[in-house]
Amino acid sequence: MKKSILKLLVESYLKYHVAYKSDYDDKKAMQLRIKWQKEATENHWKILLYQDLDKNILQF
């Protein structure tokens, strides 16, 4: 089974489906995060949160 790891700044990047102005291409990044969240749920990904103060890893 293939394992996938995704790195995000904070959990809210997946929780809220918005385009952040800090993204290079904000609309494309929003669409990718929605896609990754679906894939993470289906494929049991681990997501590393490298600036989140409360959590370090999200596991689906």
- Measuring CA to CA, which residue among 38, 44, 23, 32 is closest to residue 57? 44
Model confidence pLDDT, tens digit, residues 13-60 = 788 888 888 888 989 989 998 998 999 899 998 888 888 878 888 888
Q: What is the pTM of this model?
A: 0.73
Amino acid identity for residue 48 in this structure: L
Q: What residue spans define the domains of the chain?
A: 5-59
pLDDT attached to residue 31: 92
pLDDT of residue 5: 60
- For residue 6, the Cα-to-chain-centroid distance in whole angstroms is 7
